[in-house]
Amino acid sequence: MIDLSVNLAGIKLKNPTILASGIMGVSASSLKFVEENGAGAVTIKSIGPTDRTGHKNPTVLAFDNRMVNAVGLSNPGVDTEVHIVKEAHERLNVPLIVSIFADTIDNFAVVADKLLETHPKIIELNLSCPNTDNEFGKMFALDADDTRKVITLVKKVTQGTDIKIFTKLTPEEEDFAELGKVVEDAGADGITTINTIFSMNIDIYSRKPILSNAYGGISGPAIKPVGIESVYTLYETVSIPIIGMGGILTGEDAIEYIMAGATAVGIGSGVYYRGIDIFQKVTSEIEDFMKKEGYKSIEEMRGIAHNS
C-alpha cells in the first residue's frame, strides 16, 4: 500500500502537492476548485494590510519554459479578505495556508492578528516578493534582522493558537543557509522556497522593458534547478519542514524536490502549463514512480539525495 500523505509541521496532507500563493487563490470558490482537482493543501493569494490595485498592464509574460510577472501584490486588503478566508475555511476539506505581506515589520503583525479568527492552518510570511522594491524598499528576506523581527512579532500574535508560521524565502540572499538558521532560530515552524526570481525582458523595438514595472519575478521550469539547490541547502541546515517550489510540472519534478529534502511541494505556474488537474497528474505520477521503485511512503524518499 502506497502512502502519499505527508506530515507538514504536524498538519496531515493527503498528498504532498500544494497550490502556491498567487495562482487561483483569489476566492473560496477557486480554492475549492483546486481542492477538487487533487491538491493536498491550498494557499490563498497574498493578503496585505490595505487595498492594492497592483501594477498597470502588462503584468504577466508567458514563454515556453518560464513565466514572468509583476502583478504587484494586488489584493483588496485584510479587512475584506477576512470574509473570503472565513468562507474558504468553511468550505475546504484540505488545509488552508494564508500568505501575508506588509510594507512594514509591524504591519505583518497587524495583518496576522486580523486573520486569527479565520483559523488558517498555516500563515505564510511572504518576505520575498521581487517586484515591489520601488514601493516597499529592499525585500525583508534580504535582511536577516528584519526577517527575525517579522517572525518574532507574528509568533507573539499567534501565541496560544495552533497556527503554524512558515516563512517564504528567496535564493537571492547571499548566505541562504545562514538565513535558514535565522528563520528556524526565530521560531518559524517551516520554510517555503523559492519565490520568483528577479528578472527583466526588454522589447528591442520600443527599446524599453516590456513589463510596466520594468522588473518582474520569473517562475516556471527555468528556475527549477535553483529551487532544487535551495531546498537541498536548507535541508542540510535546518530541521524544520520545507515546502519546495519552483518549476514543478511533473511527478518527477516533485520527486526531485522531495529527494532534496522537501516535505511538500508547491505548484503555481504549472497550472498554466498543464491545467488545473496538474495536482492529480503530479500525485499519480509520484505514485507510479513509488510503485516502480519500491517506495512505500513519501517520507522514505525525503532527503534521500543526501545519502549518496
Annotated binding site for substrate: 45, 69-73, 126, 195-196
* Phi, then psi, of 292 in degrees rounded to 5: -65, -40
Chain-centroid distance of CA 258 in Å reads 15
Question: What CA–CA distance (Å, rounded) separates 48 from 26?
Answer: 13
CA-atom Rg of the chain in angstroms: 18
DSSP states of 40-71 as a string? SEEEEEEE-SS-B--PPSP-EEE-SS-EEE--
| Rounded Cα gap, residues 186 and 155, in angstroms | 9
Helix (H) / strand (E) element for 82: namely helix 78-91
Q: Where is the binding site, in residues? A: 21, 45-46, 69-73, 126, 168, 194-196, 220, 246-247, 268-269
Q: Which amino acid is at 263?
A: T
Amino acid (one-letter) located at 277: D
Task: State yes or no: is 129 an active-site residue.
Answer: yes
Residue written as grid cell 545562514:
178
Selecting among 28, 84, 111, 129, the annotated active-site residue is 129
Category of 277 on φ-ψ map: left (φ > 0), alpha (ψ -120 to 50) or beta: alpha
Residue 291: exposed, middle, or buried by beta-carbon count in 10 A (0-12, 13-18, 19+)? exposed
- Binding-site positions for FMN: 21, 45-46, 126, 168, 194, 220, 246-247, 268-269
The residues carrying an active-site annotation are 129
